[in-house]
Amino acid sequence: MKDKSGYLEGQMLVAMPHMTDPRFSRSVIYLCAHSAEGAMGLVVNKLIDSITFPDLLRQLDIEVGPVTEHIRVHFGGPVESGRGFVLHSDDYTQESSLVVNQGIALTATIDVLRALAGAEGPRRSLLALGYAGWAAGQLDAEIQANGWLNVTADEELIFGRDLNGKWQQAMGKLGINLSALSGVAGHA
């Protein structure tokens, strides 16, 4: 078993209020991987307005079923924006699925899209195009520069449908008074 101490895999990143990058302003990101080599996560609170799940299925020649109207396409991040990822409960896994931690897995195959379209997929899921990625040490530096906070993940933060409320919910989970936050990092 690899040593995970000091890494945030399986936790949520919450953008600080002063985050100026529009791709990440008020973002909540589930970290699927975080190690000395870098980090990868999915933004869980932003949608892509330009495509629907039925549109995506039609592009991939997958039959569109009645449940597909309720599945939303999220902006997972700016890296590989044409690549799809499904973050989901671990009641559904494939050989290619990455079980991130107890209860949560990540699958990036067409088969998981077919399962979602046929209502045979996981109990809870989030479909995202693209991902957020950081090179070795980059995320750690951004956290030290006061760009991100981290909070324990829970199913409602990951899969909840109230996207506009997720950022406040994550901040509230930390017990933070937003008016008291500073964008300046202090060093002892």
Q: pLDDT class for 169, splitting at 50, 70, 90?
A: very high
- CA-based torsion, 86, 87, 92, 96: positive or negative: positive
Query: Tell me, what amino acid is at 143?
Result: I
Domains present along the chain, CATH in parentheses: 11-177 (3.40.1740.10)
**Interval 106-151: pLDDT, tens:** 999 999 999 998 888 899 999 999 999 999 999 999 999 999 999 9
The answer to whether the beta carbons of residues 48 and 83 sit under 8 Å apart is no
* Total-model pTM: 0.88
Please give the pLDDT value at position 180: 58
| Residue that wins the pLDDT comparison between 118 and 13 | 13
